Structure 1
């Protein structure tokens, strides 16, 4: 099957993807802004093809500790998923982003956490401030394991930490705004490279090339068979 990555949040027609949101629920976010964050999550969910066989979504909230709101695969339709997001209760307290990233790699994207083998993994991290613990090792591990990481920061979020979390190229995986009300614009700009679509022209070219190679191999095989027969005949004459 010929595929290429389609850089958009359009509903994916044929992509199986595991997406986990890692959401900062620290005290600095504030209750009214936390409601905006939940709306932002659901804006992104609206663009995914949530189903049993395609997009699975998990949600993790963190502050001074980490709380799994729901694992990958629990909800296989948008309505139930969005309702669960709306019910997420605000934790408050601190900002332990490093601890949350470790949870993402060790638990959320583990088979025991609902992650599917051989399926693309996308992590979307939202924060509004500097982490109170070290994020370097955890951010590096997530990317080394092949997870596509997006970092979204609002307000007092430290941009160097966001860049450290984001996958390469950073410009496509890192977003920042000073205002929570601008998160709708971020949702529209956020491009997740998860929608794999077939390119008919590309596929036709590959199929034609493969057919020519097969024909050439068949012709070569016949010639080799003929040569082998002639060699065998000569050996019989010599004997």
Structure 2
């Protein structure tokens, strides 16, 4: 139907040209007037046909646009369902991982404090899973301060950041099971405003201590980590290390005998302020912080990770965010009470 209207309009156009050409030929005045009248008549019919074809085309175009919008909506719905499925699979993996890990029982007071000492059996041995003494020098007999520094740059994505938060909670639980006196803190870092713009290091909204280094119950820590909102900007890692130092220096355990300070930094990319990285990392080494760096994916710069960690064995790699849970079994094995990690 639409094609016939187009052909009809084209035919009228040809007829108008022919009649117009005839009217331009010398001849009888009455015939010329008739030819001009015929031309005008055909033009009017052609205009009507073209208007109808145009209206029909616009109607079809709008219908096509509507179908495309519906298709895009369906595609977005499928993407959302896929994200939900991915999150569900991640949660399932976490639950399966926990089934393979025996959580220490509550202490005699019934407290679920993440820092509570594992209950002891009648023989005096601990019921909680402990690291071998060969791997840790008398686990549980030191003051351990652990700061997590989490890359909140846009490349991580909100979905993957949720996996990172779950990983942080699981690592904290494992460390708590191995040491009797642990403080935890969490920092998220992304963009840094240079001081020339009127911002100081203590006035940076995107280099933020989300959880101040201190004692937290397991429930409090999990809730606080879960409430952290993803930033999603740049990757100012060196600036983050300076804020990490502030947390350690302000800890109640700072400079105490037997205090072990541990940084666990996770990133999936390169530092925006890479030129300042070595100096910031040295500031942490100067106060005896033991840094571990987790690089996720292929976009990380291994030399930057080594600059922060100081030792190659403290650089841990994960191919993607789903595989983060596999690092849980190994990470706490490197933390020792003599600070030799």
TM-score, normalising length: structure 1: 0.71
Give me the whole-angstrom Cα distance separating, in 2, the residues matched to 1:47 and 1:36.
17
Corresponding pairs, count: 187
1:66 equivalenced with 2:232 (yes/no): no
2:306 pairs with one of 158, 163, 173: 163
- Look up the match of 1:44: 171
Shift of 1:113: 4.8
Shift of 1:191: 3.6
- Look up the match of 2:92: none
1:217-238 CA distance string (max 9 Å, x none): xxxxxxxxxxxxxxxxxxxxxx
1:65-120 CA distance string (max 9 Å, x none): 30011111152x22211111111110111100000011111x1111x355533211
Unpaired runs of at least 5, structure 2: 1-131, 192-205
Higher-Rg structure is: 2
Shift of 1:176: 1.2
Secondary structure of the 1:116 match is: coil
Confirm or deny: 8 A CA contact 2:174 2:332 kept in the other structure: no
2:321 pairs with one of 167, 180, 190: 180
Cα 1:187–1:49 change in 2 (3 A) is: closer
- Look up the match of 2:135: 7
Relative to its length, the structure with more helix (as a share) is: 2
Relative to its length, the structure with more strand (as a share) is: 1
- Look up the match of 1:132: 272
Secondary structure of the 2:187 match is: strand
1:116 equivalenced with 2:254 (yes/no): yes
Shift of 1:63: 0.2
Confirm or deny: 8 A CA contact 1:151 1:162 kept in the other structure: yes
TM-score, normalising length: structure 2: 0.51
- Look up the match of 2:69: none
Secondary structure of the 1:26 match is: coil
Give me the whole-angstrom Cα distance separating, in 2, the residues matched to 1:146 and 1:167.
12
1:176-214 CA distance string (max 9 Å, x none): 1221111011222214544549xxxxxxxxxxxxxxxxx
Greater relative CO (CA pairs within 8 A, separation 6+): 1
Cα 1:192–1:146 change in 2 (3 A) is: farther
Shift of 1:144: 2.7
Unpaired runs of at least 5, structure 1: 198-239
Shift of 1:6: 5.6
Secondary structure of the 2:185 match is: strand
Shift of 1:141: 2.0
Confirm or deny: 8 A CA contact 1:23 1:61 kept in the other structure: yes
- Look up the match of 2:228: 88
Confirm or deny: 8 A CA contact 1:26 1:95 kept in the other structure: yes
